[in-house]
Amino acid sequence: MSQDLSTRSSPAALLIPEPRAGRARHAACVLLAVCFVVLFLTGEPLMPIAHRACTQLAALQLGVLLKGCCCLAEEIFHLHSRHSGSLWQMLCACFPPRWHLALLLVSSSAYLDPQEDNGHSPRLTLACLCQLLVLALGLQKLSAVEVSELTESSKKNVAHGLAWSYYVGYLKIVLPRLKECMEEISRVNPMLRAHRDTWKLHILVPLNCDIWDDLEKADSNIQYLADLPETTLTRAGIKGRVYKQSLYVIRDKDNKPRPCVLEFASPLRTLYAMAQDECAAFGREQRLEQARLFYRTLRDILGSSRECAGTYRLIAYEEPAEAESHFLSGLILWHLQQQQREEYMVQEELPLGTCPMELSLQISSSDLPQPLRSDRP
């Protein structure tokens, strides 16, 4: 529940786009219904309307087939390298899944067309000419919205790979041990025990992908305190690989310290470097789109991970137009205060006498079914 509260109240809700909900197809259905109503109101006979509709549909499907033939002319040279030498695999890649239905429509259109020009029907030839002209001039390209939706739905963006790599290669290792590490370091720094509600890894996600190596230089109100206990694992042939996080103190306007485990999302550095390299062909707009998608993907991955629940806080933000010396510390303090409010609201909703860390589902220690405990008389 606290995760829902943070999602609704976080400033990132206005910065990060949600997945598209298929409204374009719904709009197409509405416009289709409108067209049917208009045709009905014209009062024309049904057969001529059905005839013209079939010929138009056949022309559109003909364009799909011609486009597949043009793609086939290229793919035949990559039969072994891209399609493992399989002709069927190459044909399925070039033509739509129901291309045989399109062939049926095209062939039937020759019989549906009225006979003109001394018994000849040039409409099929003219349709081919128009479709090939469109393909030759490159007029049949996907819009930017369609490309974005296609890559997001197929989960083949740069951001998806970076988010999954960050989770599997780092967060999934360190987050489950974070509470244990905080308990250990709190023995040396007792002030940490007063801030258990913020014992999380706070991950900064600047949407411009510009990451500071030294947080103390980014904001003078952020001061390094100590390193958390290290996690050492042998991974990918590296003996004793070390994973660790840093603990900082964030000072507010009254100079009161607030401890916080803090770091930037390091994969954003890759996006920033790609935008600087001409070989990557990665512009500023693409970088911003990928950064937003990285945040959304990472949020969804962590949100579905039980072992990482309650151990992290994602902080997405855009740098203000005018430089502010304490913008970053102010943003982090806002998130720390928000976590305290969420924890307080959760405690208020729990029944009297119930520990905040106790599960709401009461599990009986007996093997026999037992009624759920109730505090009501």
Q: How many CA atoms lie within 13 A of 68 on its CB side?
A: 19
Least confident of 47-61, 97-111, 322-336: 97-111
Q: Look at residue 41 in the predicted model and tell me its pLDDT.
A: 79
Stated as kind and residue range, the H or E segment containing 223 is strand 222-227
Q: Which residue has better confidence, 149 or 360?
A: 149
Question: What confidence score (pLDDT) does residue 360 get?
Answer: 36
Across the range 289-315, mean pLDDT stands at 92
Provide the whole-model pTM.
0.67
CA dihedral 6, 11, 15, 20 (to 10 degrees): 30
* Contact of 318 with 205, CB cutoff 8 Å: no
Q: Give the pLDDT confidence score for residue 146 in this predicted structure.
A: 65
Paired tokens of 113: 């067309």
pLDDT at 303: 93
How confident is residue 216, by pLDDT bands cut at 50, 70 and 90? very high
CA distance 266 to 258: 23
pLDDT at 104: 57
* Banded pLDDT at 299 (limits 50, 70, 90): very high
- In the structure encoding, which two tokens stand for residue 153, read together? 């739905």
Question: At CA 294, angle to CA 293 and CA 297, rounded to 5?
Answer: 80
Q: What is the CA radius of gyration of the chain?
A: 30
* pLDDT value for 12: 63
Calculate mean pLDDT across residues 105-130.
58
Q: Which domains does the chain have, with CATH numbers?
A: 44-111+125-134 (no CATH), 158-348 (3.40.50.12100)
What residues form DSSP beta bridges with 250?
A: 222, 258
Q: What whole-number distance in Å separates Cα of residue 190 and Cα of residue 208?
A: 37
| Helix axis angle, 158-166 to 284-303, nearest 10° | 40
pLDDT > 70 fraction of the chain, expressed in percent and rounded? 72
Higher pLDDT, 194 or 243: 243
Q: Looking at residue 265, what is its pLDDT? A: 95
Distance CA 69, CA 72 (A): 5
Residue 296, exposed/middle/buried by CB under 10 A (0-12, 13-18, 19+)?
buried
Tell me the average pLDDT across 79-95. 83
The helix (run of H) or strand (run of E) holding residue 84 is none
> Is residue 287 a contact partner of residue 209, using CB atoms and an 8 Å limit?
yes
| Measured distance between the N- and C-terminal CA atoms of the chain, rounded to whole angstroms | 27
